[in-house]
Homo-oligomer: A and B are copies of this chain.
Amino acid sequence: MHPLTQRRRDSVAALGEQQLIRAIQTWLGPASPRSPFGIGDDCAVLPASRGRQLLTVDPVIFGRHFDATVPPRAVGAKLLKRNLSDLAAMGGRPTSAVLALTLDARVSRRWLEQFYRGLAACAMRYRVRIVGGDVAQADGMVAASLTLLGEAAGPRFVARHGARNGDWIYVTGVLGGSLRAGHHYRFLPRLAEGAWLARHRAVRAMMDVSDGLAKDLHALTPKQSTPALTPDAIPRRTGCDLRAALTDGEDYELVFALSSRADRAAFGRAWRRAFPRVRLSCIGRFVPVGKAPAEAIPLANYSGYEHLR
């Protein structure tokens, strides 16, 4: 469905601001608590946190993160899931979210209702409270930015930094071809997996793969090290070549470093017991710069998604 309508009476502008806010409350339903704990006051009031908190923000923009072929319900869900994936990558679980919309006056009410209903269903599934937001107008824009607050799911969270030379590199699922396969909006954020991994001290560093493994892996690589990846070990989506798997982006899988001293066989068995249907691949390890074997992937020849170009 295209987000814009040519008929003014079907547009959000025809609804007017006050009616739109009431409609949004209806569409969100139980995903949004009542004011002042939800929409309707200057700020939302949140309960005290149970410990350290996690905070992230990610948008969806028409023409960039979705187009008219993606169902609006899926767009709303994707917005939340992108942020959940960031939380998963640290071993977090979500608590609350706020939403900033930037809409052309011609956005159709039907499109927006489906967007919110998709967001609400996803919020209920992952127990996220949508506590507030803002709607602003800008010509030609259909964009939504969601800020997600969370906490560590267990006693520990995992950052991008912390990997050491010699650590093994693992990735969940398969990579590449996300746009073509519709994975970019159908994916399920790896929250349970991220929380499980964070409980294992041998998992020293973790992040999600959103811009392509070749690009994202830099952030996980310790100083004076380089990732030595085995070409055949990279898990590819059906029909994808190595380049697609390394650079396509929007995979929303987890990549992490496992301590070189860990018992990899026991770790693999524990994973298969916990997640029998989620593929886990050891794709290589961090080695000193200049010591990568000849058969390792020359990552410098691959680059992932650039946000500004």
Contact = CB atoms under 8 A, between A and B. Distances in A.
Interface residues of A, number: 71
Interface in A121-168: 131-141, 143, 145, 147, 149-150, 157, 159-161
Nearest to A148: B43
Contacts of A208: 42
A41 B159 contact: yes
Interface stretch (A67-75, A95-103, A240-248, A291-299): A95-103
Nearest to A15: B308
Contacts of A92: 43
Interface string A43-57: 111111111111111
Nearest to A103: B308
Secondary structure call for the A interface: mixed
B102 A61 contact: yes
With a 10 A CB-CB cut-off, give which of A47, A52, A87 has the most chain B CB atoms. Answer: A52
A102 B56 contact: no
A143 B138 contact: yes
A165 B294 CA distance: 81
A33 interface: no
7 closest Cβ pairs, A-B complex:
A147-B147, A43-B54, A42-B89, A42-B86, A100-B145, A43-B56, A46-B53
